[in-house]
Structure 1
Amino acid sequence: MMLTLFRLLSMAALVILISGTSSFALVMEPEEYDRSATGISEGTAPGYERAWHNTDNWQRLGDVWLTNDGVDWSLDGGKTFGHEAIHIGRSVTFRFDFQRTNDGLHNYDQLKSWIDWNGDKDWDDAGEQLIAYRWDKEEDHVYGNFNPVYTLQNYFFAEMLVPEDAHIGETWLRARVHCNHVSFEDTTAYGFLNQGEVEDYSVIIATPEPSTFILLGLGIIGLAGFARSRRRG
């Protein structure tokens, strides 16, 4: 827990602003990259336009291909992460585990994510993009395919307040990673991208939890009422 807090604090110099959301990144130590692509990575959000990818040979979300392990979020400022319900008007920090190789015939990789705040089955409305990050090549990038490679892993974060007019109940988040075969400007939440991965997550939006002061006030009112009833008795 303390290590997570230290990491978040150490990234203060890397903060960028994207669509009103504060976003920052944490670089991890390189390790061997497992090229394990089999099957198709496809979005699972019901009722939304399709998104799919063919291969994770150069970039993916999380450690395991075709597994939702690349996105989670925190309700306590980065102390803990999971997939709990988020609350209207409260801060939430989304975390994206973006991994790529140090080789490939492309100039950059990219991460984008959206959340359907109003529950209208698309990610096209203002304020629904959580993050858009272009990850340029490293100095030691190998311009070729299937060379001895290692993983470059970054944790990207996006912190924001849940909008007051957000849809109460279940909605969906979509995250995608890709190279520059489709340009950064033209990459959307929908359609086919050969390289990379897509992950969809159910997100429950709840009404605000009562604050401590409200609960305290209710308790005082309750005690006062109890005292009056005893006097009348």
Structure 2
Amino acid sequence: MSRRGEAIGWLLLIGAAVIASFWYLDMDLRGLLRGDSPQQMQAYALSFFPPDSSASWLRQISRGALETLAISAIGTLLAALLGAGLSLLAAGRLGRLAKAAARLLLNALRSVPELVWAALMVLAAGLGPFAGTLAIALHTAGVLGRLFAEALENTPAEPANALREAGAGTVAAFFYGTLPGVLPQWLAYTLYRWENNIRMAAVLGFVGAGGLGQMLYVTLSLFQQPRAMTVILAMLLMVLLVDALSAWLRRRL
């Protein structure tokens, strides 16, 4: 079969899968345009404007933004520390058995989404930012641990071997021969995950994990759309600022 025929075959297969998915899910997209649905959607969208800009609400938004920022920052820091420790095992530094166990644990941590971890942590630690911090830390530790381990495996072993041959111990050889080579990558990975965790910390509030997400959930539940719009704008601004800061730091590193 020619390359063109193969491409057409794949396109037809993908198209058939999309059509089958719509049929299986029984999605009635025409219902969005039927009757007065467009007018209802427009009225609901317009109810978010103008955003609530009262001084008392903006003060609450500021406290919620700081709480969201703290949840993401502390959760990412704990995840980086836990991931760094597990990465040493997952990279095979302490034998094959420890490597297999560490990789299994990392897979388990990152296979559970943050929202599921948050729901579990709310049951264990109660409502509030502590549950959100633990949820972010557990999931992100699985992600960073795997990335850190791969960075360790791809780092040249010659500097550490030279130090050991010169009489240095295993710990000293790691800190002076291996760590300088992987630390910039580790920091870049951690900053990138912090960007993602800012967004996730804002979402975790929907299960009671505090921050702007919890404020958004409450305002939407009470049909306070102007206040909810202010929360959404605060989320957008905070994410943009953190993205810019993280990108600048990664360039410097």
TM-score (norm 2): 0.21
Structure ranking higher in strand proportion? 1
TM-score (norm 1): 0.23
Look at both structures and tell me which one has the larger radius of gyration over its CA atoms. 2
Greater RCO structure (CA 8 Å; 6+ sep): 1
